[in-house]
Amino acid sequence: MKIIQQYKLRTMAVSKYLAVDLGAESGRVIVGILENERISVEEIHRFPNQQIHKDNSSYWDVPFLFKEIKKGMSEVVKKGHGDIESMGLDTWGVDFGLIGKSGELLEMPHSYRDNRTNGIPEKVFKIISSDEIYRRTGIQIMQINSLYQLYSVKLEMESLLNECNKLLFIPDLFNYFLTGETKCEYTIASTSQMLNAGIKTFDESIFSKLELPIKIMAPVISPGTVVGKLRPEISHETMLESIDIIAVGCHDTASAVAAVPANGDDWAFLSSGTWSLLGIEINEPIIEPSLKNNFTNEGGVNNKIRFISVTTGLWFLQGIKKSWERNGEQYSYDELMQMAEPAEEFICNIKPDDSAFINPSDMVGAIMDYCVRTNQEFPKTKGELVRSILESLALRYKAILDKIEKVSGRKINKLHVVGGGSQNELLNQLTADATGKEVVAGPVEATALGNIIVQAIARGEIESLEKAREIISLSFTRKFYIPENHKKWKEIDNRFNNIIR
């Protein structure tokens, strides 16, 4: 599934692309400007993304998000960017909406942090083993995966499946709202644990054994495929011409990795945000050697596989901020880092993947309980708590990189950190210290840039992914972090491994 070049390669002085990037905390509408083999971005509109909590369930407010997307599209025109070439949209993975036979959204899409998947994987494994699911999909077993969400619908609301015409993952859902076309982009489909890693179509055996209706799955298309034209009524509403809507790397991490300004194969990437997704690009999925390590083989741009481990990331900082805010204490992320910088080192270590941290009502309390459970000292100050979180993430990154090198046989010399977390200088330095690798941070806007370059490649403005990465490298500055006192970190790693193993 290579990027489809919809147009012959052509040269233009200036071309503009519209990227919509939806994250778990906020969404943005961004214009990318390609000129003289340099690329720049301009944020046009930013808006919050908050879950709706009702009847003990968590949902995404899709009507609000779509309204804000259209508002951003209108602002693009008002700010003098009416000459947009095309538009692409990316979001987080695994979540989906169900479209009825009359084309309506049957219910608000559930959030992956909703409790409806509690205990569902175990029920699935009684029918089809976790090993077989992994061998077919190559995807890390996590209870948030679409497979377990869909099976929970079958168990609890099967009538909803009977009414459903198409299941659309979140970016595919918005592309449907924009064009009226029901398509499923490959990189987002790969996060579901329902796509066969070898043939890159939905796995008939899994659907059959679980008695799930495979007919509700939309056709899988490659990154760079035109989904359709912007619907006339939306074009009229936003004053934006009826441009092509292009399926980019619709999973935000796929877009972020496409924008990593690297060459060769001695590098790994870390998409750092609410989640930490750390891995390498490969040409074919790695299944058997990685089964025990629970790595994931997600689809990438340009026919690549993102061989990664998914672990909780800056969700911890979001959580402790909310815990303190409930007590009337407000701190910015910069203030948290200022408190952590001089704090005492290595007080405790938390395991980011522990189930206690999926969606606790009180993150500080959850970390305190974890320390009691693992016989560790609890940090005495806020700065010590923040530093302990960052150290724990850095040590987790080291463990993942060690396994990647062992399973893939590839020596990693550099770790490219992209996304919002690339701005966290303390975490970047701790990561360099813990892993012994040079850390290269940036660009911050990697997800939007990946979205934009896939559009540019599809339209023939850029000839290849390699060229696009070169353009990004020349267009944006990066920060470099050299390992310090790695020997001490190896000793600390051994100490904490004995605690959290």
Question: Above pLDDT 90, what percent of the chain?
Answer: 89
Q: Does 265 lie in the same domain as 246?
A: no
Q: Answer whether residue 490 shows pLDDT above 90.
A: no
Most confident of 236-250, 347-361, 481-495: 236-250
More confident residue, 487 or 220: 220
Q: Answer whether residue 309 shows pLDDT above 60.
A: yes
334 as an active site residue: the answer is no
Say what the alpha-carbon torsion angle 115, 119, 125, 126 is, to the nearest 10 degrees.
-140
**Structure tokens belonging to residue 310:** 């998914």
**Predicted local distance difference test score (pLDDT) of residue 259:** 97
Q: Does 265 lie in the same domain as 240?
A: no
Q: In what side-by-side order are the strands of the sheet with 26-35?
A: 38-48, 26-35, 14-22, 84-90, 244-247, 225-229
Q: Which of 194, 219, 250 is the last residue of a domain?
A: 250
Q: What's the mean pLDDT in 95-113? A: 97
Q: Does 331 lie in the same domain as 295?
A: yes
Q: Is the dihedral of CA 428, 431, 433, 437 positive or negative?
A: negative
**Structure tokens belonging to residue 197:** 């890693």
**Predicted local distance difference test score (pLDDT) of residue 76:** 98
Q: What's the mean pLDDT in 368-396? A: 96
**Predicted local distance difference test score (pLDDT) of residue 1:** 46
**Predicted local distance difference test score (pLDDT) of residue 50:** 86
Q: Answer whether residue 363 shows pLDDT above 80.
A: yes
Give the C-alpha separation, 403 to 314, whole Å.
22
Question: Mapping DSSP to helix (H, G, I), strand (E, B) and coil, where does residue 249 land?
Answer: coil
Q: Does 111 lie in the same domain as 227?
A: yes
The answer to whether residue 389 sits within a structural domain is yes
The answer to whether residue 209 sits within a structural domain is yes
The answer to whether residue 403 sits within a structural domain is yes
Q: Does 285 lie in the same domain as 241?
A: no
Give the C-alpha separation, 247 to 379, whole Å.
46
Q: How many domains does the chain have?
A: 2
Q: Does 426 lie in the same domain as 315?
A: yes
Question: Mapping DSSP to helix (H, G, I), strand (E, B) and coil, where does residue 119 land?
Answer: coil
Q: Is the dihedral of CA 99, 105, 110, 116 positive or negative?
A: negative
**Predicted local distance difference test score (pLDDT) of residue 501:** 55
Q: What's the mean pLDDT in 301-315? A: 94
The answer to whether residue 448 sits within a structural domain is no
Q: Which residue range is the domain that position 195 belongs to? A: 14-250
Q: Does 112 lie in the same domain as 135?
A: yes
Q: Does 331 lie in the same domain as 189?
A: no
Mean pLDDT of all residues belonging to the chain: 94
**Predicted local distance difference test score (pLDDT) of residue 134:** 96
The answer to whether residue 67 sits within a structural domain is yes
Q: Which of 199, 227, 250 is the last residue of a domain?
A: 250
Residue 407 CB: number of other CB atoms within 10 A? 18
Give the C-alpha separation, 184 to 146, whole Å.
14
**CA angle (450 as vertex; 319, 392 as ends), nearest 5:** 30
Residue listed under structure tokens 């390609």: 34
**Predicted local distance difference test score (pLDDT) of residue 397:** 96
Give the model confidence (pLDDT) of 114-141 as tens digits: 999 999 999 999 999 999 999 999 999 9
Q: Which of 252, 353, 362, 493 is catalytic?
A: 252
**Structure tokens belonging to residue 261:** 């300004």
Q: Spell out the alpha helix ranges (H) of 409-500.
A: 425-435, 446-458, 465-475, 486-500
pLDDT level of residue 293 (50, 70, 90 thresholds): confident
Give the model confidence (pLDDT) of 9-39 as tens digits: 444 479 999 999 999 889 999 999 999 999 9
CA distances from 452 to 76, 98, 228, 252, 455 (A): 15, 28, 17, 12, 5
3 state SS for 33-81: EEECCEEEEEEEEEEECCEEEECCEEEECHHHHHHHHHHHHHHHHHCCC
Q: Which of 250, 268, 296 is the last residue of a domain?
A: 250
Give the C-alpha separation, 435 to 490, whole Å.
9
Which CATH number characterizes residue 152's domain?
3.30.420.40
- DSSP H or E stretch at residue 175: helix 170-179
**Predicted local distance difference test score (pLDDT) of residue 494:** 81
Contact 409, 438 (CB under 8 A): no
**Predicted local distance difference test score (pLDDT) of residue 5:** 44
Say what the alpha-carbon torsion angle 169, 92, 55, 61 is, to the nearest 10 degrees.
-80
Q: What's the mean pLDDT in 68-75? A: 98
Q: Does 168 lie in the same domain as 112?
A: yes
Give the model confidence (pLDDT) of 406-431 as tens digits: 999 999 999 999 988 999 999 999 99
Q: Does 310 lie in the same domain as 377?
A: yes
Q: Answer whether residue 362 shows pLDDT above 50.
A: yes
Give the model confidence (pLDDT) of 55-67 as tens digits: 989 999 999 999 9
Residue listed under structure tokens 């329902």: 194
pTM, two decimals, is 0.88
Q: Does 428 lie in the same domain as 399?
A: yes
The answer to whether residue 447 sits within a structural domain is no
pLDDT level of residue 499 (50, 70, 90 thresholds): low
Give the C-alpha separation, 160 to 68, whole Å.
28
pLDDT level of residue 265 (50, 70, 90 thresholds): very high
**Predicted local distance difference test score (pLDDT) of residue 3:** 44
Q: Does 279 lie in the same domain as 245?
A: no
